[in-house]
Structure formats: C-alpha cells, structure tokens
Amino acid sequence: MQIGVESSKAVDQRRVFVIDEDEITRTVLQFMLHDEIETHELASPEDAYQKATEWLKPQVLLLGASFLNKRGPALIGQLSAGFPGVRILIVYDKTDEATALEGMKAGAHGTLAKPLTLETVRKKVDTILGRGGAAAIVQLGFT
C-alpha cells in the first residue's frame, strides 16, 4: 500500500476503465489510480466492451479526446448506453479543448486536462464517484 492511500477507497469495489489511444497516457492514469481503485487500461471503446462482463462493469470511463476527434461527440451517448450508469471523464490536452467541450455538451460528466497530476486525477475521480474525501472533524477537549 502506498503512502497517502485511504484503505477504505482501495476496497470499495469501484472500477475505472482508462480508454485512450496513447499508451503512455493509459499507463500514467492507471499508475495514478491503481492504489485506490481497480483500474484497467484499454486501447479502444471496443476493447472496453469486450472487457466488461456482468461482474466487471466500470463506474467511470476516462476517455481520451482523440476518440471524440475521430468518432464525434455521439460516442459519449454510445458509451453511456453500452455502460448504463457509467460516469465519463474526457482526458484532453490544450489542443483538444474544443473537443472536450463538445463531449461535455454531449453528456460527459467532466474533464481531466493535461498535464495530469496525481492529486488532480484522484480528486476528480473521487468527486465523480461521490467519494467526498472530507476528513472527519475531531474535537479535542482540554481539562
């Protein structure tokens, strides 16, 4: 277990599919998330459909903007239909900002802008999963 990892997150049975054409981006995102969430890296949406089974369904898809460039924003609706209840985050760099905006208009739930940082990625995924991450407040009394 890594430093800074909340064990309650690591065992909550949530799953992320990282779908990106760029192997480096997939690997980086998988590395950033794997301590706190089950993460699978896939080279295409078709690979994601093949990977998904009754017991291996993603709660979040991290989708590379390159797929939206090639297939259009309708891909968001197709993925939502193929993975009911999934939350979609678009991973993009500055040159794909307009594409990411179109994806948001098509129904994506958020974006992750490059350059990616561990803190930003984990925080965004936690937020999209509804894992508040707020620390409990402990009141200390002195006598």
Q: 76, 103 in Cβ contact below 8 A?
A: yes
Tell me 131's DSSP state. -
Q: 18, 40 in Cβ contact below 8 A?
A: yes
CATH top-level class of 13-129: alpha beta
pLDDT in tens, the chain (143 residues): 444 445 444 445 789 999 999 999 999 999 999 998 999 999 999 999 999 887 789 999 999 999 999 999 999 999 999 999 999 999 999 999 999 999 999 999 999 999 999 999 999 999 999 886 544 333 444 43
> CA 82 to CA 92: how far, in whole Å?
22
> CA 134 to CA 137: how far, in whole Å?
9
- pTM for the whole structure: 0.83
Instruction: Write down the pLDDT at residue 12.
Output: 59
Annotated domain spans of the chain? 13-129
